[in-house]
Amino acid sequence: MQWQLYIERNPEILGGKPVIKGTRISVELIMRKLGGGYTPDDILKAYPHITREQVAAACEYAADVISNEEAVESK
């Protein structure tokens, strides 16, 4: 999936946090809902103006961000 089709960063929207295009629904919100036990269907019910593809794109975006992090070991 090309998350770039569904996710944008704009300094004028939520201070530049990544959001689903055309909304103020952040990737962070989607990930927190999923982490808190919501299913994709729960999210779609709560936010009926977004699509399953947009929820999946938020997950792909988050995975790409995490995959580019540098590991720092603590002692």
- Please give the domain boundaries of the chain with CATH numbers for all domains: 3-67 (1.10.10.10)
Q: Which of 36, 38, 4 is nearest to 21 (CA)?
A: 4
Token pair belonging to 63: 């995975």
Confidence label for 68 from pLDDT (cuts 50, 70 and 90): confident
Tell me the per-residue pLDDT of 1-14, one tens digit each, with 9 for 90 and over: 899 999 999 999 99
Say if pTM beats, i.e. exceeds, 0.85.
yes
Distances (CA, A) of 53 to 2, 26, 74: 10, 15, 38
- 17's tokens: 């946090």
Backbone angles phi, psi at 61, to 5 degrees: -60, -50
Average pLDDT for 21-26:
97
Tell me how far the alpha carbon of residue 16 is from its chain's centroid: 13
